[in-house]
Amino acid sequence: MAQFPLIDQASLVMIPGAYKEGKIYSQLPTDGSGDFTYTRGTDTATRVNENGLIEKGYENTLLQSNNWAQSDSQYEITGGEAGYDGTNDAWLVNKLAAAYFSKDALVLTGVMTISFYAKAGSLDRIFVFIGGDAARFDLTNGTAVSAGGNPVSQNIELVSGTTDWYRCSIVLNKTSTQNLLIKPQNSSNQDVTGTIYIQDAQLNQGLVAYPYLETTTVPVYAGLTDNMPRLDYSGGASCPALLLEPQRTNLDTQSEYIAGWNTASNVTRTANYEESPEGVNNATRLEFTANGYTYNGSSPSQVNGSTYTMSCYAKRNDSGTQDFGFFRDGSGTPDSVMALTSEWQRFEYTYTAGNTSRFGLAGKSGADVSVYGFQIEKDASYATSYIPTYGSAVTRNNDTSLVAGVSDIIGQTEGTLYFEAAVIGVPTDTQRLISLSNGTTNESIQIQVSGGSDKLAYVVLEGGVQQMVFTSVDITLGTTFKTAIAYAENDFAVYLNGTLVGTDNSGNVPVDMDKIVYGRGNETQFCEGEIKQTMIFKTRLLNEELAALTTI
């Protein structure tokens, strides 16, 4: 924490690090009075974690996920068996007749993966049937094949640390309520009596089975869940930033199942081809046999004259010509060609729609690429973080973060506000980044980014009257800046990246300030950016101290 010698003089220090649902902990003060409350209220957000991988929320919506008990003329299923995970939570399935056992009433809401763990007994095949789609799993050779209908994919994977337990999964694209029907078979795929072992079933959204979550009477969620602050490591950062973004909607209804987009020309698509930037096997391969394209006709058409930003992760699969990119307005040829490498990158393209046609991905003959995480945002001049979709458009709510009731932390007659952050994209309207206030804008100290620009503004208001203002201060979008406002009666100074922005020797200090808000002082508008550090001092630091504090 001792980044600057001056840090020992601070009354509040917040460097994103420790957090829990609904809260970000400050390093000073240590009694919790400076901790920031946090709200987003939706589990559709993502972040880049410390391993450089996209992290999102996931779930198990299959209830009673490890209760397989049955005793009748068709099956005897009993618990207490040694499991894949070192517990005695596995079940011995004794098949007595040519019938299925089941997990009932699975609610399918688009692209979803059903998984369970299994081991051979006297039988070594498992036939799975759900809503007309089927797969067969070989528990001796570790293979999985489609066995009817139209499953998206099926997979079997040996559990690490074992020689005979497998995780079996089948991916479906359905919107309905179905029963999961399971039938053990012999090595000739025959319905004979015998045994297998089974444990831990799961139903989660997406093209892969996520880490198992135990359920009883309600679904269970993990990963980046509701109201969890997003400490983001984008760009290979060694230290995280608190990511705060506006409300946005991904209008594309299948952001990962690109192989399932309903229109394609001259392109072969392969789902679950390789690991994506998420670190799991859910990227799609696109091989262009001639000039071609693919798009999702289930997504809405464009609105003529509206601004959109498309984004997608992509990489090349060979060293040949890779003329590939986004298309808009139904052209079917790349309007924005991606500079692909053999490593995953996120590309974005902002444009104004010229008609009400379609948008998607296009390539020229010979292009061979992998893609993941397609997104299109309307009325957006830049791409926000990835919003996963599995069958319908999804909205991520805006992030809000503030700390209230901290009058003892804020200097009331003099003080200094230090702020280290990056502005991600150009806002449509004036965007307040951070404010000290009394809960109104009439008594406040504000750092803003001007609407439609990449310029900062600094404003002090007392009694609703401007006491100090500096505008049109240049920053570089997406690049970290360090800035500070020092204030005392008739004595204001602003520094940015070690350089004096300006001083003002007239004006009053706002009264009764007791809130720190990442956004507007009256909590009606919130910051959009990456916050690296915030400090408050109850004294007006010297100008040379401000220069040292803000030097990049």
Q: What is the pLDDT of residues 214-259, one digit of tens each?
A: 999 999 999 999 999 999 999 888 999 999 999 999 999 999 999 9
**Could you say which of 3.40.50.720, 3.30.479.30, 2.60.120.200, 3.40.50.2000 is the CATH number of the domain covering 5-49+399-550?**
2.60.120.200
Q: What percent of the chain has pLDDT over 90?
A: 93
The answer to whether 70-221 and 248-396 have equal CATH topology is yes
Q: What confidence score (pLDDT) does residue 132 get?
A: 95
3-state secondary structure of 545: helix
Q: Check residue 439 and give left, alpha or beta (phi > 0: left; psi -120 to 50: alpha).
A: left
What are the sequence ranges of the domains in the chain? 5-49+399-550, 70-221, 248-396
Q: How far apart are CA 484 and CA 547, in angstroms?
A: 9
* Per-residue pLDDT tens digits for 353-380: 999 999 999 999 999 999 999 999 999 9
Q: What confidence score (pLDDT) does residue 429 get?
A: 86
Helix ranges (DSSP H) in 242-400: none
Cβ neighbours of residue 385 under 8 Å, at least 6 residues apart? Answer: 45, 46, 47, 230, 232, 243, 245, 396
Q: How far apart are CA 248 and CA 227, in angstroms?
A: 16
Burial level of 536, CB count in 10 A (0-12/13-18/19+)?
buried
Prior bond of 240 cis (ω within 30°):
no
Examine the pLDDT at 2 and tell me if it is beyond 70: no
Task: State which fold the 70-221 domain adopts.
Answer: Jelly Rolls (2.60.120)
Q: How far apart are CA 418 and CA 252, in angstroms?
A: 40
Averaged confidence pLDDT in the chain: 95
**Could you say which of 3.40.50.720, 2.40.160.10, 1.10.10.10, 2.60.120.260 is the CATH number of the domain covering 248-396?**
2.60.120.260
Examine the pLDDT at 291 and tell me if it is beyond 80: yes
